[in-house]
Amino acid sequence: MHIGVPREIKDHEYRVGLTPDSVRELVKRGHRVSVESGAGLGIGCEDVEYRDAGAEIADSAEAVFEAAQMIVKVKEPQPAECQRLRADQLLFTYLHLAPDGEQTADLVASGASCVAYETITDEHGGLPLLAPMSEVAGRLATQAAAHSLEKIRGGRGVLMGGVPGVSPARVVVIGGGVVGENAITMALGLGADVVVLDRSVAVLRRLAARFGPSLRTVYATASGTEAEVLAADVVIGAVLVAGAETPKLVSAEQVSRMQTGSVLVDVAIDQGGCFETSKPTTHAEPTYVIDGVVHYCVANMPGAVPRTSAYALNHATLGHVIALAERGLSAAMADDRHLRNGLNVHAGQVTCRPVAERHGYDYIAPDQALAG
């Protein structure tokens, strides 16, 4: 198969779909790989490294899209990229379609087969291609919160870990999954006072067993969530409903009653965000203030540490890229229901139920769509 890797064009996105190591693996298996010139610069990889790995270097994104049978990216295709997709092409990347009706319509119109990293599952019920970026985003969320608490950034002027005789910041993490657990790890490491809210007692037990009495666990009722949010210096939203838009767990009215200079970090913003006042931001302008509360809602947080992120992501995605390249879409998915769960759009049909329901499309099961 001919695989194409365009340079990412989302604002301040420096990751790349395939690293030179991944290219080498694919070329050794007999596949062709075209990489747009400069695609790897954000992770410190020059064109020569890709050429040495066996890739062909393309002068433009147009050349990559025109030649490739499968496009491997990191972030959702921007409008110009959607226009380059064609019906005989496979797109493999993060999509996050539930909150994005415009992108959904563009992908449906393209006729391409679009596989989303974030809805591929595993035998344990996890999301293995989302997990590495969730680990990165969870850790970055605490770093972002610590910086945003600084007075010069609009925050309360509180040091995350405090000092002897002065209390640390109070950090509330909503959601105890991969993002939440990594945010907790960093916040406790900095010496913060940390509480986690979740609706799963099993998750709370697991986190309590891991972190011990340093972490306070609270079952996430509406009243309990409100009380913790209003008392917090930092609230990190770490909630995910696979493939669907994230529920709004903190209302605008509650935000208006939070402490002035407190910080909200919405890691769920890719799926619509879990705070009613959230709107996507970029690394160029990562924060805004509503009712005195600093909001950090960067939609591609792991892009801030692209080298770490790209290599971690490739470790998770490469096996699936190989399976799709060697067997083709239909055969690869026929034998792997977890990979089949990643199919969101195929031949003008929406094959992810939450996306179809959110945007008013008829839902077609992936196996039915692939059968014709």
Q: Give the residue numbers marked as catalytic.
A: 96, 270
Structure tokens belonging to residue 186: 């960093």
Beta strand pairing call for 287-290 and 293-296: antiparallel
- Measured CA to CA, the distance from residue 189 to residue 186 in angstroms comes to 5
Distance, in Å, from the CA atom of 141 to the CA atom of 159, rounded to the nearest integer, reads 15
Cβ atoms 196, 218 nearer than 8 A: yes
Backbone torsions φ then ψ of 183, nearest 5 degrees: -65, -40
Distances (CA, A) of 342 to 105, 305, 366: 18, 25, 9
- Of residues 218, 214, 213, the one with CA closest to residue 168: 214
The DSSP-derived string for 212-266 is GGGEEEEE--HHHHHHHHHH-SEEEE----TTSPPP--B-HHHHHTSPTT-EEEE
- Nearest to residue 33, comparing CAs of 21, 43, 42? 21
The DSSP bridge partners found for residue 346 are: 349
SS (H, E, C) 280-291: CECCCCCEEEEC
